[in-house]
Amino acid sequence: MEFPFSPSNLPLQMFVNNEYMDTKNPQKLTLLNPTDGSLVSNEVPVAGQEDVDLAVGFAEKATRGWKKIAPSERYQMMMKFADLLEQYCGQLGELTRLTLGSTPAFNQFEGSTAAQGMRYNAGWIDKFSGETYPQDDGFLKIVRNEPLGVTAGIVPWNGPLVTVGLKAAPALATGNCFIFKPSEKTPFAALALGPLIKAAGFPPGVFQVLPGDGSTGAIMSSHMGIRKISFTGSCATGKKIQEMAAKSNLKRVTLELGGKSPAVIFDDCDIDNAVKWAVDAITSGSGQTCFAASRVYVQNGIYDKFMEKYIQGMKIKAEVMGNPEAQGTELGPMVDRAQYERVSGFIQRGQAQGKLLIGGPRLSDKGLFIEPTVFESPDPTSEIHTQEIFGPVSVVSRFSTEEEVMKLSNDTNFGLMAGVFTQDINKAMRIASEFDAGMVGINCISLMFLNTPFGGTKESGIGRECGLSALKAFTETKTVMVNLTY
Ligand code: NAD
């Protein structure tokens, strides 16, 4: 297969029913390259009501056949698609870099995780069993996991390809048709998936991609023909989607939202290990990751020693920030001017809430760069402590007792991830159970695995992705009762 897209030949159409088509909606978006401000395209399409209706209609038509297709065939298609994702990972990553400013290492991680997500979920196709219950009362009870029908994924700009592995994969493995809407800020890798979808053998209407912004997402969320939305993005949008789902057809909703994840560093930890994780956790993806360790609590006894090494680690990261195409670059720019200004605003206002130790916007550059930034702030009610900044910005505070730090850690509306650093296994396990978060790291933080549930408590979301949880979230149980006395 010849991969037809490149930075000079961008995918600028929707992919429906296994064909590229122009959107009926005339609206177009403009996208700039965040590394140098150059124009990437002013022809990025936005799917409107008619376009969404068309895709849903194709998916509805495909649903029956897809549900009935032999599991081995579905498996083969998903495995082939995974191979193609890997094969064209470089080209897809090039398309993402244009508007995300991501590094080749990030693009490689995205492509390979998406491929692994496909394989992991394909592996479940013939293993995702139902249940049976005792028949002593004369009735055999069988619980089946059935696909929902037409499902959709709406995703943010920071993981344009990895989210295909997290959302499309469990949806397709469980026999649903799936419509993917990438972010309006980073749409090109997803829009380029058409040839891969076709070459993998997915029947028309089974796996479609719609470009668009929040207006497209809102049409999908209110659509009577879509039975589930798997959403990743901000809390504000997640709440709107939940509301639209309730007001339309009560479609199922999974929400993977924001975070303000605490890293709790005790006196008895391995400092170098804690520093390494804490630095990586707030700088990976230039801090534009939902589970970034943005609050760091350090016990009094090692505070000065930890801070010296932490600041040093952040300085080293600042040195490898720059043009994502250049050799050795680990951190790219903020995704766009709006995000750059949002993060800069937090940093500017933060200087009245705490002491800025290092970092801030890099003004010497044409690109939208924010250097790894650390605030020391004792006020747990300040904006930099409580709001998700979504940039390479952390706030560090001291603590003295376990009780005090647990109160501080859990005193947030978010509950995505938390980490504890200590060599005392009893303390680690005690704290792991006390964190009000969907995921906890012991001597690690800000990481995920495809085979374990991923998601948050409180306003960090509803439901879980990955593992068996994702398959369950894309199915409905049906209880079949067999009268054995008849
Ligand atoms: P966003 O909520 O602005 O947009 C996310 C997606 O929702 C986009 O595709 C957008 O077009 C769409 N959208 C916007 N308004 C909509 C509406 N009214 N109805 C339906 N869809 C709509 O989020 P973002 O700025 O792209 O991403 C950053 C956010 O995503 C951060 O809060 C971050 O924490 C979160 N995030 C969470 C996870 C997770 O797994 N928990 C992972 C990555 C990012």
pTM, entire model: 0.96
| Segment 21-34 mean pLDDT | 97
Indicate whether residue 213 lines ligand 1 (CB < 6 A): yes
Q: Output the residue whose Cα is nearest ligand 1's atom 14.
A: 214
Residue whose CA is at the smallest distance from ligand 1 atom 40: 256
Ligand 1 pocket test, pick from 29, 216, 222, 234 with the greatest ligand atom count within 8 Å of Cβ, gives 234
Counting atoms of ligand 1 from 1, which one is nearest the CA of 236? Answer: 2
Q: Summarize pLDDT for 205-262 with one digit per residue, the tens.
A: 999 999 999 999 999 999 999 999 999 999 999 999 999 999 999 999 999 999 999 9
Asked if 119 and 186 sit in the same domain, the reply is yes
- Residue 383 Cα to ligand 1 midpoint, Å, equals 21
CA of 422 to the centre of ligand 1 (A): 34
| Residue whose entry in the numeric block shows the structure tokens 């990972």 | 89
Q: Would you tell me the crossing angle of helices 425-434 and 402-410 to the nearest 10 degrees?
A: 30
**Is residue 2 scored above 90 in pLDDT?**
no
Sequence-separated (6 or more) residues with CB below 8 Å from residue 265: 274, 278, 296, 297, 298, 299, 302, 306, 421
Domain contains 2: no
Give pLDDT, residue 108: 95
Let me know whether 184 and 135 are in one domain.
yes
Question: Ligand 1 centroid vs 400 CA: distance in angstroms?
Answer: 37
Which pLDDT does position 77 carry in this prediction?
Answer: 98
Do residues 464 and 454 lie in contact, with contact meaning Cβ atoms separated by under 8 Å? Answer: yes
Which structural domain, as residue segments, surrounds residue 325?
262-449
pLDDT in tens, 90-140: 999 999 999 999 999 999 999 999 999 999 999 999 999 999 999 999 999
Sort strands 252-256 and 150-154 into parallel, antiparallel or unpaired: unpaired
Q: Is the CB of 241 under 6 A from ligand 1?
A: yes
Same domain assignment for residues 316 and 216: no
Contact predicate 184/336, CB 8 Å: no
Q: 459 CB less than 6 Å from ligand 1?
A: no
- Ligand 1 closest atom vs CA 465: 40
If you measure from the C-alpha of residue 22 to the centroid of ligand 1, how many angstroms do you get, rounded to a whole number? 25
Q: What is the mean pLDDT of residues 279-291?
A: 95
Q: Looking at ligand 1, which residue's alpha carbon is closest to its atom 22?
A: 214
Q: CA–CA separation, 435 vs 439, rounded Å?
A: 9
Say whether both 21 and 109 belong to one domain: yes
pLDDT tens digit sequence for 447-462: 999 999 999 999 999 9
**The predicted structure's pLDDT at residue 441:** 98
What is the reported pLDDT for 365? Answer: 74
183 Cα to the center of ligand 1, angstroms:
8
Cβ density class 126-161: b for 16+ within 10 Å, e for less? eebeeeeeeeeeeeeeeeebebbbbbbbbbbbbbbb
CATH of the domain at 381: 3.40.309.10
Residue 454 lies in a domain: no
446 within ligand 1 shell (Cβ under 6 A): no
Phi-psi region of 389 (alpha: psi -120 to 50; beta: other; left: phi over 0): alpha
Task: Answer whether residue 358 is part of any domain.
Answer: yes
- Residues 251, 269 within the same domain: no
Number of domains the chain contains: 2
- Per the prediction, the chain carries an average pLDDT of 97
With CA atoms as reference, report the closest residue to 203 among 88, 64, 381, 13. 64
Q: Is the pLDDT of residue 486 over 90?
A: no
Same domain? For 102 and 243 the reply is yes
93 within ligand 1 shell (Cβ under 6 A): no
Query: Quick check: is 8 in a domain?
Result: no
Q: What is the pLDDT of residue 262?
A: 98
Whether the pLDDT of residue 172 is over 90: the answer is: yes
Distance CA 322, CA 198 (A): 37
My answer on whether 100 and 190 are in the same domain is: yes
Q: Please indicate, yes or no, whether residues 232 and 283 belong to a single structural domain of this protein.
A: no
The pLDDT of 143-148, averaged and rounded, is 97
Are 271 and 203 within one domain?
Answer: no
Is the CB of 237 inside a 6 Å radius of any atom of ligand 1? yes
pLDDT at 73: 98
Rounded to the nearest whole angstrom, what is the distance from the C-alpha of residue 233 to the centroid of ligand 1? 2
Amino acid, res. 380: P
Write down the pLDDT at residue 291.
95
Separation between Cα atoms, residue 192 and residue 180, nearest integer Å: 12
Minimal-distance CA residue to ligand 1 atom 15: 214
* Residue 484 belongs to a domain: no
- Tell me the mean pLDDT in the region 343-370: 93
Asked if 256 is an active-site residue, the reply is yes
**218 CA distance to ligand 1 middle (Å):** 12
The answer to whether residue 6 is domain-embedded is no
> At residue 157, does pLDDT exceed 90?
yes
Q: Report, as an integer, the average pLDDT of 329-338.
A: 94
- Active-site pick, 110, 184, 256, 330: 256
Is any atom of ligand 1 closer than 6 Å to the C-beta of 130? no
